[in-house]
């Protein structure tokens, strides 16, 4: 198969982790007889520096013309980087929001599961970690607070900022359908997370999820308030299968879920539209505190590349090969600094990439 991949390395650790994922893809290509063609595009701070904007229309067009996008991460230290002196629409994050919107990537899948070998890296009580967990966070990605009307202005001499949380029923229905579809391929349980005791948008969310659920009689579903969900994630993560939620709640809950897998450096993601197209990226950020030091954990990005093979290219056994190589590297005791523990071997980002390549 010939696969045309737009590669956006981005900022901070982005280039380091994406380079490892490309190495792994090339190893898969060699073993299984596929060609991965890469076209590198700029987005984020590096695009601001080179082009004056976080994402050019040309880059969007090139991304659209590709089969899939592999992304690292964008942004810098939001307190100290000069990028954050720019108006919000010119900052690195505006590029990420623009590409998600332009490509229609409304469904963000973030699988959080605890590897047997990382039970010791899980910060939960031993008896909870021992039970393990395997959930798919299904985050709505192109609506809600991130894309609502916003304004900062003076009202009666007082500085006032407004962000608007808007969802229409169609936006809710399409993500709910994706959530239930995914649940049908898993353990057939959906937990829809909202704040329906306070927010109108959540009450509409609940109503539409209930309508969609009627078409999936085999799926058990429940509603859970987001504050309770944040608590349940640390109390009993094994109860979750598909966690279906809106944009901002999904952002926050997925970082929480990442940590109980051992590290944000383990959490892959796929952002999908209605077609086979997708953008694949680690769930974490550009990690400015460790950027350029060969310390980052590349596994989230490598597992995101596996999701790309599975969801965009239907290359299931190739995706399995990557996931098994990751498992094997953990079995063999290699760890980056975020998940290292007594009795394991500390490796850098590049060496972790090499170890995974050796196991493809
Ligand atoms: P972050 O996820 O970049 O970092 C939080 C902590 O996790 C840091 O201590 C970092 O070192 C660690 N970490 C993250 N990824 C890691 C990895 N692969 N291996 C080891 N450790 C890792 O979050 P932040 O510091 O809040 O944000 C930094 C910048 O990243 C901001 O500009 C933010 O907007 C941006 N960001 C981008 C994306 C994205 O591109 N998708 C996602 C989240 C944050
Ligand atoms: C993520 C990030 C982004 C988000 C930021 C960088 C805009 O945190 O992908 O989780 O909030 O969606
Ligand atoms: Mn986030």
List the chain domain ranges: 1-111+265-360, 123-260
- Ligand 2, atom 6, lies closest to the CA of 93
Alpha helices in 33-56 (DSSP H): 45-51
Query: Among the atoms of ligand 1, which is closest to the Cα of residue 44?
Result: 40
CATH architecture of 1-111+265-360: 3-Layer(aba) Sandwich (3.40)
Give the number of the ligand closest to the Cα of residue 105.
2
Query: Among the atoms of ligand 1, which is closest to the Cα of residue 287?
Result: 3
Rounded to two decimals, what is the model's pTM? 0.98
107-113 and 68-73 strand pairing:
unpaired
1-111+265-360 and 123-260, same CATH topology: yes
Ligand 3 mean position, distance from CA 250 (Å):
8
Please indicate if the annotation marks 296 as binding a ligand: yes
Query: What homologous superfamily is domain 123-260 in, according to CATH?
Result: Isopropylmalate Dehydrogenase (3.40.718.10)
User: Residue 48 in 3-state DSSP?
Assistant: helix
Residue 62: the pLDDT is 98
Answer whether 20's CB lies under 8 Å from 9's CB.
Answer: no
CA distances from 289 to 80, 201, 341, 346 (A): 12, 36, 21, 18
DSSP class of residue 128 equals H
- Ligand 1 binding residues, C-beta < 6 A: 13, 17, 73-76, 78, 93, 96, 264-265, 281-282, 284-290, 296-297, 300, 338
Per-residue pLDDT of the chain (360 residues; tens, 9 = 90+): 999 999 999 999 999 999 999 999 999 999 999 999 999 999 999 999 999 999 999 999 999 999 999 999 999 999 999 999 999 999 999 999 999 999 999 999 999 999 999 999 999 999 999 999 999 999 999 999 999 999 999 999 999 999 999 999 999 999 999 999 999 999 999 999 999 999 999 999 999 999 999 999 999 999 999 999 999 999 999 999 999 999 999 999 999 999 999 999 999 999 999 999 999 999 999 999 999 999 999 999 999 999 999 999 999 999 999 999 999 999 999 999 999 999 999 999 999 999 999 999
Instruction: Write down the ipTM of this complex.
Output: 0.99
């Amino acid at each position: 198969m010939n696969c045309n991949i737009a590669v956006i390395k981005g900022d901070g650790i982005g280039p380091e982790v994406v380079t490892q994922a490309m190495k792994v893809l090339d190893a898969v290509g060699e073993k299984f007889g596929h060609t991965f063609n890469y076209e590198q595009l700029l987005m984020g701070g590096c695009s601001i520096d080179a082009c004056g904007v976080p994402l050019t229309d040309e880059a969007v067009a090139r991304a659209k013309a590709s089969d899939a996008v592999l992304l690292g991460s964008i942004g810098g230290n939001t307190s100290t980087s000069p990028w954050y002196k720019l108006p919000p629409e010119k900052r690195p994050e505006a590029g990420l929001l623009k590409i998600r919107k332009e490509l229609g990537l409304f469904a963000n899948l973030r699988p959080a599961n605890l590897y047997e070998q990382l039970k010791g890296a899980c910060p939960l009580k031993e008896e909870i970690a021992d039970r393990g967990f395997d959930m798919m966070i299904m985050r709505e990605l192109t609506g809600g607070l991130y894309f609502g009307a916003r304004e900062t202005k003076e009202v009666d001499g007082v500085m006032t900022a407004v962000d608007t949380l808007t969802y229409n029923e169609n936006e809710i229905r399409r993500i709910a359908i994706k959530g239930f579809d995914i649940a049908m391929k898993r353990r057939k349980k959906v937990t829809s997370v909202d704040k329906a005791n306070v927010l109108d948008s959540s009450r509409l969310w609940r109503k539409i999820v209930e309508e969609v659920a009627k078409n999936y009689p085999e799926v058990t579903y429940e509603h859970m308030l987001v504050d309770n969900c944040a608590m349940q994630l640390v109390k009993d993560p094994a109860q979750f299968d598909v966690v279906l939620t809106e944009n901002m709640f999904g952002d926050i809950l997925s970082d929480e879920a990442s940590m109980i897998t051992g590290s944000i450096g383990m959490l892959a993601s796929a952002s999908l539209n209605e077609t086979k197209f997708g953008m694949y990226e680690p769930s974490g950020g550009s990690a400015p505190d460790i950027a350029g030091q060969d310390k980052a954990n590349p596994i989230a990005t490598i597992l995101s590349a596996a999701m790309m093979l599975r969801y965009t290219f239907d290359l299931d056994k190739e995706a399995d090969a990557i996931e098994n190589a990751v498992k094997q590297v953990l079995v063999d005791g290699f760890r980056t600094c975020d998940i290292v523990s007594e009795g394991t071997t500390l490796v850098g980002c590049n060496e972790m990439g090499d170890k995974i390549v050796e196991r493809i």
